[in-house]
Amino acid sequence: MFQAKGEKHWVIPDGYIPEHSSGELTSHESVCVLNCSSEEALLRFTIFFEDREPMEDILVVIPGRRTKHIRTSSLMKEGMPIPVGVPYAIEVKSDIDVIVQYSRLDSTQAENALMSVMAYPVR
Amino acid sequence: MFQAKGEKHWVIPDGYIPEHSSGELTSHESVCVLNCSSEEALLRFTIFFEDREPMEDILVVIPGRRTKHIRTSSLMKEGMPIPVGVPYAIEVKSDIDVIVQYSRLDSTQAENALMSVMAYPVR
Amino acid sequence: MFQAKGEKHWVIPDGYIPEHSSGELTSHESVCVLNCSSEEALLRFTIFFEDREPMEDILVVIPGRRTKHIRTSSLMKEGMPIPVGVPYAIEVKSDIDVIVQYSRLDSTQAENALMSVMAYPVR
Amino acid sequence: MFQAKGEKHWVIPDGYIPEHSSGELTSHESVCVLNCSSEEALLRFTIFFEDREPMEDILVVIPGRRTKHIRTSSLMKEGMPIPVGVPYAIEVKSDIDVIVQYSRLDSTQAENALMSVMAYPVR
């Protein structure tokens, strides 16, 4: 049996899905999660905006001893995705300890731009 | 009622507003703040320089349960913005706990460059 | 005698070895380790995937008072490297305290993209 | 009187001064320091390498209530700079609390690449 590691609560204030792509790669963001434990982790996402109510309780499962690099464009609430071209923020709560990193690839121009941060662990 | 989360005091040592833009996007920096609580957060910015006195007490309000991606070029002290092309540093104090991330898009060249960091939480 | 500094256990959830390179530089990732102590540090890597069992117990030695910028493409388990073009995550355990940073250069397009994070210290 | 904030001891494992520049901007790294206090801060840099002894005791002064964005190419030990094109690591010790961030601009190709991390605070 492997133990859970990390934290249960993470925040990423700078979310943004670029509207355009060009060149070989598609603009996207990934929320990268590592679940070190033998058990499944149940994640609950809340998406915050500048000018409207949050999207709450988007669920994602991470199997035990696996990572998952979650495209934010795949997160849906009642069939609705996160809107593109809009500033937002991400809160992730997990039932067991996990570790969360956020990365963005922007290919608005043909050449790529990359950024990455560890999510902020709320204690 | 939702509780405030994060910290009240954050620092970003590497501030810089690029002088030039080209291509489709404009060079800019964003201070991205998430206010998880039901209450409004009042932020107080201090801008530090290499060779002159700090700009103090620039105020920004973040509504409850909202994020705000603040362009540093919008921060004004008595009508004066932060000068472009000059190294500076950012201190953010909030009356309630918030989470702060900093990102920069540089489009000095036609293709973009991106960088991002979580601000440093001072305890 | 110099003392060990940092932590013994670090995690990087967003690992990815780009498949393509163009321009002057080769796409690669580096796990950059600093060993401040006079003694050697023995690192043990575990590589986690989305859809298969982890690669465990890849060993790397960092001499005393030295840094090592380890290309992830050089990490081998029974002669097998980490597959390219596949999302993965990295866990590093060290027998003494070290400090770990992760950086990626993507030259899929001719112009480069860079990202970097401090690894997450598990306590 | 303003109080010192942050930490006295910081580490950046991934240092690298790119050999080439092209386009409008020069490849460089900056160690960005904020000194919130009214007093001067005295910084002491140690530069670690993969294959040789560290360069020790490079001194930099940060005036009170000022930031300084220090080009690593300006750090000298007995007239010798940090070699370019060589992996290295940076340790910063300060006599009072400061906050340290590290950023790199790579213009090996004409278009720029940027990366940034908060330095790791050793406690």
For residues C42-55, give the mean pLDDT: 98
Residue D121 near chain C (CB below 8 Å): no
For residues D40-57, give the mean pLDDT: 98
Higher pLDDT, C24 or B68: B68
| Cβ neighbours of residue C70 closer than 8 Å, sequence gap 6 or more | C30, C31, C32, C33, C60
Concatenated DSSP letters of D50-99: SSSPPEEEEEEEE-TTEEEEEEGGG-EETTEEPPTT--EEEEEEEEEEEE
Sort out which chain B residues have CB atoms less than 8 A from A108's CB and list them: 24-25, 112
- D31 vs D3: CA distance, rounded Å: 22
- Chain segment A25-61, per-residue pLDDT in tens: 678 899 999 999 999 999 999 999 999 999 999 999 9
Residue appearing with tokens 């990934």: A30
Percent of chain C at pLDDT exceeding 70: 93
Residue A29 near chain B (CB below 8 Å): no
For residues C31-44, give the mean pLDDT: 98
Q: Least CA distance to B121: which residue of chain A?
A: A120
Q: Which of A47-56, A96-105, D12-21 bottoms out in mean pLDDT, i.e. has the lowest? A: D12-21
CA of B107 vs chain A CAs: smallest distance (Å) = 10
Q: What pLDDT, on the 0 to 100 scale, is given for residue B12? A: 98
Percent of chain A at pLDDT exceeding 70: 93
- A91 vs B2: CA distance, rounded Å: 13
Q: Does residue D109 have a pLDDT over 80? A: no
User: What is the band of C26 on the pLDDT scale with cuts at 50, 70, 90?
Assistant: confident
Q: What is the CA radius of gyration of chain B?
A: 15
Instruction: State which amino acid sits at residue D66.
Output: R
Query: What domains appear along chain B, each with residue ranges and CATH number?
Result: 7-121 (2.60.290.11)
Residue A71 near chain C (CB below 8 Å): no
- D40 vs D112: CA distance, rounded Å: 34
- Chain segment D60-77, per-residue pLDDT in tens: 999 999 999 999 999 999
Sort out which chain B residues have CB atoms less than 8 A from C111's CB and list them: 111
B111 in Cβ contact with A113 (< 8 Å): yes
B96 token code pair:
């309630």
Residue C111 near chain B (CB below 8 Å): yes
Strands (E) located in C20-119 = 28-35, 41-49, 55-62, 66-71, 76-77, 80-81, 88-106, 113-118
Q: What pLDDT, on the 0 to 100 scale, is given for residue D110? A: 59
Q: Of D90, A1, A5, B122, nearest to C120 (Cα)?
A: A5
Percent of chain B at pLDDT exceeding 90: 82
How many Cβ atoms sit within 10 Å of the Cβ of residue A65?
A: 17
For residues D5-26, give the mean pLDDT: 87
Q: What pLDDT, on the 0 to 100 scale, is given for residue B18? A: 83
Q: What pLDDT, on the 0 to 100 scale, is given for residue B24? A: 64
Concatenated DSSP letters of A83-98: PTT--EEEEEEEEEEE
Q: What pLDDT, on the 0 to 100 scale, is given for residue B20? A: 76
Q: Does residue C97 have a pLDDT over 70? A: yes
Which member of D6, D110, D114 has the closest CB to residue B106?
D114
Count the helix, strand and coil residues of chain D and give each as a percent rounded to the nearest 5: 0, 60, 40
State phi, psi for D82 to the nearest 5 degrees.
Answer: -65, 130
- A116 vs B29: CA distance, rounded Å: 15
Q: What pLDDT, on the 0 to 100 scale, is given for residue A19? A: 82
Residue D111 near chain A (CB below 8 Å): yes
Q: What is the mean pLDDT of chain D?
A: 93
CB contact under 8 A, B91 and D117: no
Residue appearing with tokens 């001891």: D9
Residue B118 near chain D (CB below 8 Å): yes
Angle at A103 between CA C96 and CA B69, to 5 degrees: 115
- D11 vs D92: CA distance, rounded Å: 6
For residues C76-105, give the mean pLDDT: 96
Burial class (CB in 10 A: 0-12, 13-18, 19+), A8: middle
Q: Of C118, B5, C11, B123, nearest to A122 (Cα)?
A: B5
